Amino acid sequence: MAIDQEKISNGVRMILEGLGQDLEKGSVAETPDRVASAFCEIFSGMEERPEELVKIFIEEGYDELVLVKDIPFYSMCEHHLLPFHGRAHVAYIPERGRITGISKLARVVEAYARRLQSQERMTAAIADSLTATLKPKGVMVVIEAEHLCMTMRGIKKPGSVTKTSVVRGIFRENPATRAEAMTLIYSGR
């Protein structure tokens, strides 16, 4: 399904009118089109296939932990259409030397972040995508995020951080492997 920029613009126009804004005056006249354009960029991940972003290389004999931590991301909560942002940490242990470029891990995070999301589903989707494409011994994804729906409305608790983690394969089966990855993620803080 393609993003429909015109429908977004019309929807924003209706929201602004519902808020009592006069769309014939001032700086809000072009807001519907600006928001529609921004949403097309923000939600560009909806049209991406993250599994196509991962390119496999063979590094003979390499079967140790690969970790990219502190990958910044911005996403939009599907419940309130408000942003959440934070950092993702992605780890995997290759099977039979099957590795990918480290930038590909950040690209997968970005592709899933650029969708209407829940943090829980995003965490699992990243792990499942990497498990399916890399076929590693294990994958671990940890996401830490601040949700503006908790900051700007409702409970109004700025600075609160939600942490989610998903572990697959050896990270689930072996507590020592999981502990090693968690130590590396949180070291130096």
pLDDT tens sequence across 30-70:
999 999 999 999 999 999 999 999 999 998 889 999 999 99
**175 CB-near residues (< 8 Å, 6+ apart):** none
The CATH class of the 55-186 domain is: alpha beta
Tell me if residue 147 is catalytic.
yes
Tell me if residue 77 is catalytic.
yes
The full set of domain ranges for the chain reads 5-42, 55-186
Q: Is there a contact between 76 and 83 (Cβ–Cβ < 8 Å)?
A: yes
29 pLDDT above the threshold of 70: yes
Tell me if residue 80 is catalytic.
yes
Catalytic residue among 40, 51, 95, 149: 149
CB-based burial of residue 143 (10 Å sphere; 0-12 exposed, 13-18 middle, 19+ buried)? buried
Summarised one tens digit per residue, pLDDT across range 102-119 is 999 999 999 999 999 999
Question: pTM for this structure?
Answer: 0.94
Tell me if residue 149 is catalytic.
yes
Distance between CA atoms of 163 and 21, rounded to whole angstroms?
38
Tell me if residue 40 is catalytic.
no
